[in-house]
Amino acid sequence: MFDDFMVNTWIAATLIAGVAGVVGFFVVIRGAAFSAHALPLCAFPGAAAANLIGVHPLVGVLAFSGFGVAGVSQLGRRGRRDVATALSLVVLLGLGALFLTWTTEYFQAVYALLFGEVLGVGAQALGPVAALSALSIGLIVALFRPLLLNSVSPELGETIGLSARLMEVLFLSVVAIATGMALPVVGALLVFSLMVGPASAARTLTDRPLAAMLLAAAISIVTVWTSIALSFVLEWPIGFFVGALSALAYAAGRIWAWVEIHGVSQSRRSL
């Protein structure tokens, strides 16, 4: 499990999980889980196109992530955001299916793009992952206060000159970068689990934004570490453990919050 060929796996998974937890905090407080689910799938045809023409997967992933952001933000101006997200997702998934039918590695390509190849990460993948991780975290740090204000109270943000439309585009761009860097490694489906589950659990444990964001990153990292270890030992798909442990983390957070609330209520009654 700690052999030389696994070192890259641990490094890449840690970077991706940490970024997923940080970005996932804003995904949860903005109620943007559907967008966080859709954008990795919108990037799916980009990876398929890159595989088809023989270029680095990140080139296609980031390009089509941009198309997804543009589609959601532009269509969302004229209607509901969930409908705009769904329309963008349908169109880009159709393109992904088309691109995959033109390849000669259909099953392998589909499996890798949806579930990733985290147990086979090469040294050449670490540079782009590290660079995009730094970019994602840098953007979150720079946008933390305005993005938090826009997420909690868009109306108040507008009164001080904070454009809700601009913040939406910037937020979707950060999500696209975070999911784009993770797609070739953990796949379109697993990055969504790492974003939503740990961040939702963290929100049930604390109301302080910075603490919740850091806790989400910590839970996400522990989740992916445990998933890699269990997958290596039991030889089960890593995706099962990532999804199951993310759900368990959220359930544990809800139980803890319930115990806390009822414990306070019982204490007040006893007084």
Find all residues with CB under 8 Å of 179, minimum gap 6, and list them. 36, 39, 40, 43, 65, 188, 191, 192, 195
Residue 22 has a pLDDT of 94
Q: What is the pLDDT of residues 46-92, one digit of tens each?
A: 777 877 787 777 788 788 878 777 777 766 666 566 776 777 777 77
Q: Is the pLDDT of residue 135 over 80?
A: yes
| Model confidence, pTM | 0.82
**What angle (nearest 5°) sits at the alpha carbon of residue 103, between those of residues 52 and 63?**
30
Q: Give residue 263's pLDDT.
A: 63
Q: Please provide the DSSP assignment of the chain as one string.
A: --SHHHHHHHHHHHHHHHHHHHHHHHHHHTT-HHHHHHHHHHHHHHHHHHHHHTS-HHHHHHHHHHHHHHHHHHHHTTS-HHHHHHHHHHHHHHHHHHHHHTSS-HHHHHHHHHH--GGG--HHHHHHHHHHHHHHHHHHHHHHHHHHHHHH-HHHHHHTT--HHHHHHHHHHHHHHHHHHHHHHHHHHHHHHHHHHHHHHHHHH---HHHHHHHHHHHHHHHHHHHHHHHHHH---HHHHHHHHHHHHHHHHHHHHHHHHHHHHHHHHH-
- Does 230 fall in a domain? no
> Has residue 235 been placed in a domain?
no
Residue 215: inside a domain: no
Instruction: Look at residue 264 in the predicted model and tell me its pLDDT.
Output: 53
How large is the C-alpha radius of gyration of the chain? 19
Residue 22 falls within a domain, yes or no? Answer: yes
Check pLDDT > 80 for residue 253. Answer: yes
Of the candidates 64, 76, 12, which has an alpha carbon nearest to the alpha carbon of residue 39? Answer: 64
Any idea which of 76-80, 141-145, 191-195, 208-212 has the lowest mean pLDDT? 76-80
Would 250 be classed as within a structural domain?
no
Q: What is the pLDDT of residues 153-187, one digit of tens each?
A: 888 888 888 888 888 888 888 888 888 777 767 77
> Across the chain, what does the average pLDDT equal?
80
Query: Does 152 have pLDDT greater than 80?
Result: yes
80: domain CATH number is 1.10.3470.10
* Cα 144 to Cα 36, 94, 151, 175, distances in angstroms: 18, 35, 10, 14
For residue 115, is it within any domain?
A: yes
CB contact at 8 A, 153 and 167: no
Q: Does the CA dihedral 44-187-143-135 come out positive or negative?
A: negative
Instruction: Judge whether 120 lies within some domain.
Output: yes
Residue 263 domain-assigned?
no
Q: How many domains does the chain have?
A: 1
Q: What is the mean pLDDT of residues 147-157?
A: 87
Cα–Cα distances in angstroms (integers) from residue 213 to residues 77, 79, 220, 256, in the given order: 29, 30, 11, 18
Domain that holds residue 23: 4-194
